[in-house]
Structure 1
């Protein structure tokens, strides 16, 4: 099991950056969390500012690393460590492992550090164990909260909840019995709805930033007129190409619509007002969240039964990214079971004794 785990974690290192995280659930309910990263020489020497992990590494974390081969080293930090010149191009793999007595302890103590873009997202792991004589059943879930971003226009105004959930998370599955051609058409329709929603929100945020700063545009047509014209302006540019769903050259658009030069300050992309309008705080916050994602793996005890991730042998994996938390909490779930060998033996003995007693009575 331990050798297989190291193979899984080593393979994880070469999946998409920036993070790889594995949770191992043991039959007694205890668990481990393992993070994998690429490190610099400075981190191996103990420089905390070079920490490659999204958590703070303290005495509760065990750090192991690989360099120039498959051997794992547990000595860390090594303040006098020097990389051999012939190995200057080789990467250092580091593994940070923390053991928890229970999922509830992990829920209380696992936090992303302040350097992580997810520092205000707190996962909620839950583990349950149920005894059923021949089998013990295990269930694990880990919920990630909905992103704390309030959009002006709710997504439900543009698409049904099940459509939004499927587009963002892949569930609920509604493609059973649908041909590939029909599914393509359905997904294309959902994609159009999602992009319409995203673009409309970007416009609302951009326009709100302009209205907040009207005093910086001398000769502007006035807030009342601008509010009246907002939807008409957007309709006129809604089919134009956009950058990250945002209207490009909004200064030119407003100047043209209102036949003015009042919005010339927006033509300078490097000006403070241009950055505020073209990069609304909510959009920037969303970009921060989506810049971080994890290849998340879960190892359960016994035989896997169900999971809402991709199953390969005894491991489930998810591409854990912030878009899945855009419209609601996102929960990873898995169930497994393990045969109680002792229960089989006890049942066998009981059956044998019953047969012996029955035979004696008949004799």
Structure 2
């Protein structure tokens, strides 16, 4: 069992600075005028186990086609090129955004979600398509509220951050460091502690301890938070807390029950701490007139958001395209010509 302090280090370093890692995920979507989608999700430098177990919950069992490939690692400077990265590509066609959402926008805490939106609007001379993919926030803490730690200014700063690897001003760098510290030293610390505190109270309830023990625990909550921040805590923090307060848990059974209660928390923490570099692309069928993409090449749009973009809140990547309705133009010209003809003809009669 890893200590609370260890998890804090993982969240602060891996989640927020994961772009330094080599493992990558590429999500690609081709949008068709009828609303159908062709998706490709590529995992680089993953083990073969990711074919059936990955953060998207996709696999050949759910109809995804699989391609395996390997490429030389960028960090491998050897001339022999023996070090290879496994590349896994998942392909699937969806008849609609709704069908895609049924699979990729789940309510499972340990799966990464992508919510798609497709809208088609007719405006006489033009037909417009609006499409978006939204990454669901990876924050999986259940017992702390972001509103207690982050301001609208914090969220506005996250919104205006550029793509991964882009330079930011010195002032923004200072604010970025401040925000990272707030996430790691305040929000993550309290989030982890509240998770463990909840597990302890659940454990106490399962043994039907007297209410006075719950009062004792609540009374010492702040001091216990200080204990959780210590670097020299080497055992399970929940059991250490119970022992220090003299809470009568029946050992060794209590340790086994604690491990069972802790499994859900560990799965969510593992989900939060394993995120890596994302590149997202969307191919629109017509001319793009509006988007928040980091780069555009014709009708191909690309995003490379830093993890913090979708760590605390959902991150929407959208595009709008349009095509001219030539039949509408032709009809309009005919109507104008007919109107002019009738006016001229009437004028001659007069």
State the TM-score, normalized to the length of structure 2. Answer: 0.60
Q: 2:265 aligns with which of 255, 273, 282?
A: 282
Q: Displacement, 1:307?
A: 3.0
State whether structure 2 residue 284 is matched by structure 1 residue 303: no
Question: Which 5+ residue runs of structure 2 have no aligned equivalent?
Answer: 1-20, 72-79, 162-167, 205-212, 248-254
In 1, distance between residues paired with 2:215 and 2:144?
21
State the TM-score, normalized to the length of structure 1. Answer: 0.58
Residues 122-271 of structure 1 correspond to what in structure 2 (within 5 A)?
123-145=114-136, 149-160=140-151, 162-163=152-153, 165-166=155-156, 170-171=158-159, 180-194=169-183, 195-206=185-196, 225=216, 227-232=218-223, 234-235=225-226, 248-249=232-233
Q: Displacement, 1:23?
A: 1.1
**For the aligned residues, what is the CA RMSD?**
5.4
Give deviations 1:1-27, integer Å, cap 9, x for gaps.
Answer: xxxxxxxxxxxxxx9534322111112
In 2, distance between residues paired with 1:190 and 1:51?
29
For residues 232 and 58 of structure 1, do their structure 2 counterparts lie closer, same or farther at Cα, with a shift above 3 Å needed? closer
Aligned residue for 2:101? 107
Does the CA contact (< 8 Å) of 2:26 and 2:279 recur in 1?
A: yes
Question: Which 5+ residue runs of structure 1 have no aligned equivalent?
Answer: 1-14, 69-85, 174-178, 215-221, 243-247, 264-271
Aligned residue for 1:346? 331
Q: Displacement, 1:129?
A: 0.3
Specify the SS of the correspondent of 2:60: coil
Give deviations 1:220-254, integer Å, cap 9, x for gaps.
Answer: xx77555433313545886x6x6xxxxx5266999
Q: Displacement, 1:341?
A: 3.0
Does the CA contact (< 8 Å) of 1:290 and 1:323 recur in 2?
A: no
Specify the SS of the correspondent of 2:220: helix
Q: 1:29 aligns with which of 28, 35, 47?
A: 35
Q: Displacement, 1:285?
A: 1.2
Q: Displacement, 1:134?
A: 1.7
Q: 1:291 aligns with which of 247, 254, 274?
A: 274
In 1, distance between residues paired with 2:198 and 2:43?
41
Q: Displacement, 1:128?
A: 0.8
Does the CA contact (< 8 Å) of 2:66 and 2:91 recur in 1?
A: yes
Aligned residues: 299
Q: Displacement, 1:298?
A: 1.4
